[in-house]
Amino acid sequence: MTGRYPADVDVAIVGSGPTGAAYARILSERAPGATIAMFEVGPTVSDPPGAHVKNISDPDERAKAQARSEGPFASEGGERVGGIVKTAQRRARPGTFLLEQGYQVEGEDGLPVAAFSSNVGGMAAHWTGACPRPNDGERIGFLDERGVFDELLDEGDRLLGVTSTAFDSSPHASLVRERLAAVEDDGREPHERVQRMPLAVHRRDDGRLVWSGSDVVMGDATRENPNFRLFDESLVTRVLRSEGRAAGVSVTDLRTGESHEVRARFVVVAADALRTPQLLWASGIRPEALGRYLNDQAQIVFAVRIRDFVPAPEEEGAGPAGLSEYSGVTWVPFTDDLPFHGQVMQLDASPVKLAEDDPAAPGSIVGLGLFCAKDLQASDRVEFSEDAVDGYGLPAMTVHYTLTDRDHAVIDRAKTEIVRLGKAIGEPLDDRPFMMPLGASLHYQGSTRMGVQDDGTSVVSPDSEVWGAPGLFLGGNGVIPTATACNPTLTSVALAVAGARRIAADLASSPE
């Protein structure tokens, strides 16, 4: 799946995360004769390519895979910043690297821990796998009006391999859900009540859990497609156009330093919510809304010890990546009345280390997280320099980002709510909840947002095609036009399905 770049293809895909993988999968299923080249700036760190690093059982090999994902200056090892999250210190999670400059402008809140991953599979090699559905104001109204949103979300579930039963054997999962439901479910619609978190994870025949990465999204349909090729360590520096239409990409082979042009009938840019607008800007494609309406999810965290905890008689032992089954992952859905999305997770399922587990009673401590929906503003944006460059040689970023009075009010409510939920489960480990530094959610959205018309407030159409640049499609969380509090991956994959279907239909109607 690697080798010399082709001179031309039908579709060039920039980025190998879950949305780029979704484009490849749908095209492989619906247009199997189309030639597809996927370009990823980072290396292949797992086998199969794009697999989640949690599935690497050897901890040293897993750490190497994470370290190799950490950007243009990544290494095989080196000193890692770990420890319990207690301060506002800037730190990157394993498998990610921070925006080194431009993350905060004086007088603004900024995104101090804005971060990226560079590897085959993108952030899906490191994520928690949570795939809740958007609710109430999180939903995309114009897709609901067309009657397509839920069907697209169903397709997203299929591609990601989403289940809700992976942790059903966890001895304390039902106890956590029951205690939360007792204080939270009153007055909620059935689909809004406390429930199992939908997760992109499945159980093998031997009982071990396997977490979905881009490998699952691509599936056999893509891997067995002789017309699909994946090129890692390949930096796309420009989208090419001819008479205004997307015509291919300029790509540099990071192994040799040589640059090439690959012509394409369609181009999909699915980097992430910061690097996708960066590439468009570098290509001279600059819609008015490009980089604007940037939004993150303020994240409030808290840890408690389960009340009246009774250890399981016999633990089965750790699964892949040292994950044992204790209390699983529970979901408290977002509503307009309570504008935050809740996750309650056993400690070793969470990427954020909130406490040390109790060696005498493993599994007795759970972490709670509430994610808050942002008050959207066009002024929250990422700008790009005409002169300065980043570690990849692309235009340097500056983030402008400010919390509004409404944001502060929602955060204050979330701090009160998370203590109430935590006390329903057990005894708090700390007196007060902690707000993670902005950017910690890694759920950046809105910078290439979708809209129904080219009115300066959106970048792409409902099919994810860039206004004024036919043949150029975008993927990723940046396309989501609403302020979500839930994990956005399922939604962004669903939107990628619509874009891929549109390309497949165009290929069928105008074959060459």
Among 353, 430, 494, 393, smallest CA distance to 18 is for 494
pLDDT score of 86 more than 90: no
Q: Provide the percentage of residues in the chain whose pLDDT is more than 90.
A: 82
The tokens for 269 are 């840019």
Domain boundary among 416, 437, 458: 437
Supply the range of the domain harboring residue 316. Answer: 164-209+298-372+402-437
State the sign of the Cα–Cα–Cα–Cα dihedral 255, 259, 262, 267.
Answer: positive
**Do 315 and 341 fall into the same domain?**
yes
Which amino acid, one-letter code, is at 342?
Answer: G
pLDDT score of 26 more than 60: yes
Q: pLDDT tens for residues 318-353?
A: 444 445 677 789 999 999 999 999 999 876 666 666
pLDDT score of 488 more than 60: yes
Is 400 noted as a catalytic residue in this protein?
no
**Do 203 and 131 fall into the same domain?**
no
**Do 275 and 216 fall into the same domain?**
yes
End-to-end CA distance of the chain: give it in Å, rounded.
24
Q: Which residues contact 95 (CB under 8 A, 6 or more apart)?
A: 53, 65, 66, 69, 70, 117, 119, 125, 126
Residue 20 lies in a domain: yes
Q: pLDDT tens for residues 444-474?
A: 999 999 999 999 999 999 999 999 999 999 9
The DSSP symbol for 467 reads: T
**Do 154 and 224 fall into the same domain?**
yes
**Do 281 and 303 fall into the same domain?**
no
Longest alpha-carbon distance in the chain: 70
Which amino acid, one-letter code, is at 438?
Answer: L
Which amino acid, one-letter code, is at 222?
Answer: T
Q: pLDDT tens for residues 267-290?
A: 999 999 999 999 999 999 999 999
**Do 5 and 136 fall into the same domain?**
yes
Domain boundary among 437, 454, 481: 437
**Do 179 and 205 fall into the same domain?**
yes
**Do 169 and 284 fall into the same domain?**
no
Q: Is 43 helix (H, G, I), strand (E, B) or coil?
A: coil
pLDDT score of 170 more than 50: yes
The tokens for 209 are 């859990």
The tokens for 94 are 């394993």
pLDDT value of residue 344: 94
Q: Average pLDDT of the chain?
A: 92
pLDDT value of residue 87: 46
> In total, how many domains does the chain have?
2
Residue 22 lies in a domain: yes
pLDDT-based confidence at residue 83 (cuts at 50, 70, 90)? very low
